[in-house]
Amino acid sequence: MRSTTTRGEPADDADGLTVGRTARLVGVSVRTLHHWDEIGLVRPSTRSWAGYRLYDTDDVARIHQVLVYRETGMSLAEIARILDSPDVDPRAHLARQRELLTDCIAHLTRMLRAVDTMMEETMNETDLTAARRASIFGTDWGEQWREEAEERWGGTDEWAQSEARKAAMTQEDWARVAQESLQLITALVDAKREGVKPGSRRANELAEQHRASIDQWFDTTHSKQVLIARGYVADPRFTEFYDGHEAGLTAWLKEVIDANAAAHGVDPANACWE
């Protein structure tokens, strides 16, 4: 009799690996593999006698290729075109993506040095002026953004609440916020690339994570979140930020937030700041 795992899946053998074991081997979720199967990006070559999908060595090799291309920022559609078309030069695509990644690494390295400098000066109880922050972060530090926000919202309860919470934050708190922000962006990008639909369970979970990221600064209702997301698509600076991570991410995120708000009884078209 063929052996099985504790979850009821057949154990992997010479015929191939189950979806669960393949997911653990390559470091992606079972849901991701199911999605890639559905869109034809990576389909398991065989099935077991019980109907389980099995991935052979070539299938796993293709998954690794997909993962490498995805890390360069390519969409799943682009990856499929490269892997399936003999007329596409993958080296040209990789050369361009390598250039973009090199620029990104340089940017992140510069920002890392800036954060390290600010941490050192904070530990030394140095009062960082706007000019000093600008000199540390270079052109990436947008002090004018804070000035603009204060001009627009400085007299509101939300601004006062945000400033009070920031003042109480420790160095570890700021590091946590930075890490969580990066994780949220990564999760949003992955979901859009995998074709997650607004209104789905996963999309709603991401919308709640996004709301929580704002709620840590001031109390954020679903209605407020809708208006904030509306500002993302209206302000080219926000659009540039989100779409810089993934083309179309800004508009997709707004749809995700609107759908989740609607599920909580908010009409996105008539949302109010309350």
pLDDT in tens, 228-244: 898 888 888 788 888 88
Tokens of 235: 């302000």
Break the chain into its structural domains and give their ranges: 17-84, 89-141, 142-270
Structure confidence by residue, pLDDT tens digits, 169-211:
776 777 777 778 888 888 898 899 889 999 999 999 999 999 9
What percent of the chain has a predicted confidence (pLDDT) above 70?
71
Alpha carbon distance 116, 171 (integer Å): 11
Angle of helix 90-123 relative to helix 171-193, nearest 10 degrees?
Answer: 160
Whether pLDDT at 20 is above 50: yes
What is the CATH class of 142-270? mainly alpha
> 17-84 is classed in which CATH architecture?
Orthogonal Bundle (1.10)
Rounded mean pLDDT of 44-55? 84
Residue 270 is classified by DSSP as G
Alpha carbon distance 199, 44 (integer Å): 29
- Strand ranges of the sheet holding 17-18, from the earlier edge strand across to the other edge: 17-18, 53-55, 46-47
pLDDT value at position 152? 60
Alpha carbon distance 220, 274 (integer Å): 9
- What is the model's pTM? 0.52
Alpha carbon distance 56, 53 (integer Å): 10
Paired residues of 55 in beta bridges: 17
Residue 53 is classified by DSSP as E
Structure confidence by residue, pLDDT tens digits, 147-161:
555 566 666 777 788
Structure confidence by residue, pLDDT tens digits, 98-147:
776 676 677 666 666 666 665 555 544 444 454 544 444 444 444 455 55
The Cα-based distances of 228 to 154, 165, 238 in angstroms read 16, 20, 11
CB 62 within 8 A of CB 68: no
pLDDT higher for 126 or 96? 96
Mean pLDDT taken over the chain:
77
pLDDT value at position 126? 47
**If you compute the radius of gyration of the chain from its CA atoms, what whole number of angstroms results?**
23
Rounded mean pLDDT of 224-231? 90
Alpha carbon distance 131, 219 (integer Å): 31
Query: Do β-strands 46-47 and 17-18 pair in parallel, antiparallel, or remain unpaired?
Result: unpaired
Amino acid at position 208, single letter: E
Q: Burial of 127 by CB count in 10 Å (0-12 exposed, 13-18 middle, 19+ buried)?
A: exposed
pLDDT higher for 141 or 212? 212
